[in-house]
Amino acid sequence: MYEKITIDQTTRCPVRVVKLNTYDFRYANDRSAESQRSDSKSQDYLTIRYDENYLGFVIADGVSQSFFGELASQFIGDHLLSHMMEFGERYLEGSVDFQDNLESQLNNMAFIATPIVNAFQIPSHLPGMLINVLEQKRQMGSQATFAAGFIDIAKKKMALAWMGDERIRIWKSLQEITKETLGEETFQTAERWSTAVGMVGKLHTKIIEDSDITRFVVYTDGLAILDKEMQLNPISQEGLEAIILQT
């Protein structure tokens, strides 16, 4: 039975560490300053399932110019994680084509999400002009970028998928190998998933098998400061908390 972690989009989640016999990981989340001022939901969403042998995750970031981007980020987070946990082993084995099958799933998910967006009640306290704008945006759907993964701990294999500019970074010891492993031009802001049409742009997938990988980090553009801060040594829990507060 997998343990499950799902962050609450309405509040802060400080850095937490999960230690298992075979590996450990940490996670955190905080709302943007703008979301805190307006006391609104974070558009970021994180959900994880894990046991001693497998780890699955989705990090999604709602597109602020779409219709309530937090709807898309939560929907794609929950549904994509369920899919990755169901198909992850088959993707790693090669018995199911990772790219083609996931593309179909992402497009099909839009059919499930559209009624949810159509039924969403816009808060009545908003100004009438803003409500009119939001109703127009509703027709274009809610959108989110995402990074997802399924990791077989024992076999040192992982299946990764992403659309958008979430950061996925990989190290061997102190040497970062992200660019040579995932490519330099695959993290594009314009690529995302939409509740109205499914994929917008290209889905990127990668199967990695490397027993020498020692560290794997994923985060949204809200923590872009880590692009420069985290080059060699891992950042301590206290240091990571300080960086999150700084942003």
Instruction: Give the CA angle between residues 4, 61, 109 to the nearest 5°.
Output: 70
Contacts of residue 80, defined as CB under 8 A and 6 or more positions apart, other chains included, come to 58, 60, 105, 106, 109, 146, 148, 161
Angle between helices 98-119 and 69-93 (to 10 degrees): 160
Mean pLDDT of 206-225: 93
pTM reported for the whole predicted model: 0.94
Helix, strand or coil for residue 212?
Answer: coil
Query: Which pLDDT tens digit goes with each residue over 137-185?
Result: 999 999 999 999 999 999 999 999 999 999 999 999 888 999 999 987 8
List the one residue out of 142, 133, 158, 141 whose CA is nearest residue 213: 158
- How many other CB atoms are there within 10 angstroms of residue 145's CB atom? 29
Structure-block tokens of residue 70: 């937090």
Taking only the tens place, the pLDDT of each residue in 119-137 is 999 998 889 999 999 999 9
In this structure, are residues 84 and 77 in contact, taking their beta carbons and an 8 Å threshold? no
Residues 80-112 pLDDT 10s: 999 999 999 999 999 999 999 999 999 999 999
Average of per-residue pLDDT across 187-196: 95
Residue 19's beta-bridge partner residues?
A: 24
Distance between first and last Cα of the chain: 36
* DSSP β-bridge partners for residue 172: 175
Q: Report the pLDDT averaged over residues 188-206.
A: 96
Q: What is the largest CA-CA distance in the chain?
A: 57
The alpha helices in the chain, defined as continuous H runs, are 33-38, 69-93, 98-119, 128-140, 178-182, 226-229, 237-246
The pLDDT of residue 83 is 98
Note the pLDDT tens digit of each residue in 71-80.
Answer: 999 999 999 9
Residues 9-43 have pLDDT tens digits of 999 999 999 999 999 999 999 988 888 888 888 99
pLDDT of residue 232: 67
Residue 55 has pLDDT above 90, yes or no: yes
Distance separating alpha carbons of residues 204 and 196, to the nearest angstrom: 20
Phi first, then psi, for residue 124 (nearest 5°) are -70, -15
Nearest-Å Rg of the Cα atoms of the chain is 18
What is the mean predicted confidence (pLDDT) over 216-227? Answer: 92
pLDDT greater than 70 at residue 245: yes
What pLDDT, on a 0 to 100 scale, did the predictor assign at position 234?
80
Q: What is the DSSP code (8-state) at residue 117?
A: H
Phi–psi pair at 84, nearest 5 degrees: -65, -35
Q: Which residues have a Cβ under 8 Å from the Cβ of 191 and sit 6 or more positions away?
A: 145, 163, 164, 200, 201, 202, 203, 204
pLDDT of amino acid 33: 83
